[in-house]
């Protein structure tokens, strides 16, 4: 099948936006005054009564996937024990603050990068360290991000035995031709083996897949999804974005691989996945997840959005979100380690949301397919969404992308396809 189709002129937007505004790339560089303000905030009590997520990152990978935009360092260039020592030091710096002492966590998530570059013992030791130094809710969940290239079956055994609830795995595709093209070093068979093993041990497995790779056909995409359904995993579907500075960008520029399919083909791939997965009993939830696990539909980190309750640590982490503060850490692992060594938090970028930003964030619930409750909006801001965003809401309603009643603003089925574009309607530069 060819990877382009005729443009439908009645489309809501010319092209689908797959990322919302307010991501870490937009945060300003940290300044001494903003660092001071953040430290003062950490010295206050957390009176929210909301549960939080703890995310130590291991931003280290054995090899670099051609498309990857995440700041990671090659395993060969890192002294892992020294990195773990600094990561614990950073975790302790937070653990000693009043805000964190008065916070309760219900998730410990080893993120990255690929924590699976660590031995099972190192991963477990790090989780034990978190358990010993942070308050955990009676019911809490341990999640580990992993890549099949470093997650051998013995590691899976040990993680399952330890009580890990979920393994997040970046499989990307089961098409070996595409895997080779994208510099994914192991075979589809190896990925499948790891997934089957983890599922057999009762672990919840969430697998990342990507679509609209250069040369990828619709048939290849469907085959990957069918295999995922058969393996009974939770599925994250990401549309490939060719990021500046990635190997993939150079490969396309140099003509080594052709460009991706166009916007119409990308949308067709999304719709094909939606149809196939919802037909197989999955529900579209959050950013890009298709889920058959009931708990994922009521997870705090999803349903509480835009509640800021993510404490992220480690080199290159970028999902820090505490109340009004959003932050990312130093990308370079050596810079990270030397800042932590000096006794300072290794934050590189820090943003503090204004009331105006908070209202926009509230509207970004639509991006993760959740309704915006008018009552909650009124309680938080003393107004309803129509008072603040009248033209945006009218425009979206006229396009059939949202519905508004006296209780809430919510996406329509058609709106789901354009949820990224909808989020951008509420970004500052789009305000009218």
Ligand X SMILES: C[S@@+](CC[C@H](N)C(=O)[O-])C[C@H]1O[C@@H](n2cnc3c(N)ncnc32)[C@H](O)[C@@H]1O
Point out the residue whose Cβ comes nearest to ligand SF4.
68
Stretch that binds ligand SF4, among 63-71, 121-129, 136-144, 382-390 (CB under 6 A): 63-71
Name the segment binding ligand X (CB under 6 A); options: 64-72, 76-84, 124-132, 227-235: 64-72
Length of the chain counted residue by residue = 432
Residue with Cβ nearer ligand X (150 or 351): 150
Among 20, 21, 113, 415, binds ligand X (CB under 6 A): 113
Least Å from the CB of residue 71 to ligand X = 10
DSSP secondary structure string, 56-99? Answer: EEE-EESS--TT--S--EEGGG--HHHHHHHHHHHHHHHHTSHH
Q: 43: which 2 tokens?
A: 């010295």
The binder of 108, among ligand X, ligand SF4, none, by C-beta within 5 to 8 A per type, is none
> Any contact of residue 393 with ligand X (CB under 6 A)?
no
Using CB under 6 A as the binding rule, whether residue 210 contacts ligand X is answered as: yes
Q: Pattern of binders to ligand X over 159-178, x per CB under 6 A?
A: ----------xx-x------
Residue 241 or 410: which CB sits closer to ligand X?
A: 241
The DSSP call for residue 100 is H
191 binds ligand SF4 (CB under 6 A): no
Q: Other C-beta atoms within 10 Å of 11: how many?
A: 15
Check binding of 114 to ligand SF4 (CB under 6 A).
yes
Whole-number minimum distance, CB 214 to ligand X, in Å?
12
Confirm or reject binding of residue 113 to ligand SF4 (CB under 6 A).
Answer: yes
Judge whether 37 and 351 are in contact, CB under 8 Å: no
72 near ligand SF4 (CB under 6 A): yes
64 is a contact residue toward ligand SF4 (CB under 6 A): yes
| Cα 188 to the center of its chain, rounded Å | 23
Contacts of 257 (CB under 8 A, 6+ apart): 181, 214, 215, 248, 251
C-alpha span between 353 and 406 (Å, rounded)? 28
Return the DSSP state at 258.
P
Could you say which of 21, 56, 71, 170 contacts ligand SF4 (CB under 6 A)? Answer: 170
Calpha distance 375→406 (Å, rounded): 9
181 binds ligand X (CB under 6 A): no
Binding status of residue 260 toward ligand SF4 by CB under 6 A: no
- Judged by DSSP in three states, 359 sits in helix
Cα–Cα dist 65/238, whole Å = 15
Interface residue list for ligand X (CB under 6 A): 67-70, 112-114, 145, 147, 169-170, 172, 208, 210, 238, 240-241, 243
């Amino acid at each position: 099948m060819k990877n382009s189709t005729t443009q439908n002129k009645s489309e809501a937007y010319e092209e689908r936006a797959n990322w919302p505004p307010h991501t870490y790339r937009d945060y300003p560089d940290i300044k001494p005054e903003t660092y001071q303000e953040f430290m003062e905030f950490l010295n206050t009590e957390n009176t929210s009564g909301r549960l939080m997520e703890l995310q130590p990152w291991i931003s280290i990978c054995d090899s670099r996937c051609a498309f990857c935009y995440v700041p990671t360092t090659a395993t060969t260039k890192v002294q892992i024990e020294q990195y773990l020592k600094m990561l614990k030091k950073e975790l302790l710096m937070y653990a000693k603050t009043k805000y964190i002492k008065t916070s309760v966590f219900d998730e410990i998530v080893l993120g990255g990068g690929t924590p699976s570059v660590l031995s099972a013992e190192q991963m477990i030791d790090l989780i034990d360290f978190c358990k010993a130094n942070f308050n955990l809710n009676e019911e809490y969940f341990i999640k580990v991000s992993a890549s099949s290239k470093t997650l051998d079956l013995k590691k899976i055994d040990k993680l399952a035995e330890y009580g890990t609830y979920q393994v997040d795995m970046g499989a990307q595709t089961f098409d070996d031709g595409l895997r080779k093209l994208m510099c994914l070093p192991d075979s589809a068979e190896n990925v499948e083996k790891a997934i089957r093993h983890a599922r057999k041990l009762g672990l919840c497995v969430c697998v990342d897949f990507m679509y609209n790779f250069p040369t990828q056909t619709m048939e290849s995409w469907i085959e990957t999804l069918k295999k995922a359904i058969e393996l009974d995993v939770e599925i994250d579907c990401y549309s490939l974005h060719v990021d500046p500075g990635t190997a993939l960008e150079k490969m396309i520029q140099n003509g080594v691989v052709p460009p991706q399919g166009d916007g119409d083909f990308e949308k067709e791939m999304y719709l094909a996945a939606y149809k196939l997965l919802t037909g197989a009993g999955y529900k579209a939830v959050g950013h890009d997840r298709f889920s058959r696990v009931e708990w994922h539909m009521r997870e705090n980190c999803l349903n509480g959005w835009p509640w800021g309750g993510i404490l992220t640590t480690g080199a290159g982490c970028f999902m820090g979100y505490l109340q009004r503060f959003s932050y990312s850490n130093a990308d370079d692992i050596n810079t990270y380690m030397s800042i932590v060594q000096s006794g300072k938090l290794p934050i590189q970028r820090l943003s503090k949301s204004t009331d105006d930003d908070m209202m926009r964030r509230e509207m970004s619930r639509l991006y993760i397919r959740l309704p915006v409750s008018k009552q909650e909006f009124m309680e938080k801001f003393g107004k309803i969404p129509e008072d603040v965003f009248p033209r945006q809401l009218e425009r979206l309603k006229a396009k059939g992308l949202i519905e508004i009643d006296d209780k809430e603003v919510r996406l329509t089925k058609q709106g789901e396809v354009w949820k990224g574009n909808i989020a951008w309607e509420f970004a500052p530069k789009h305000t009218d």
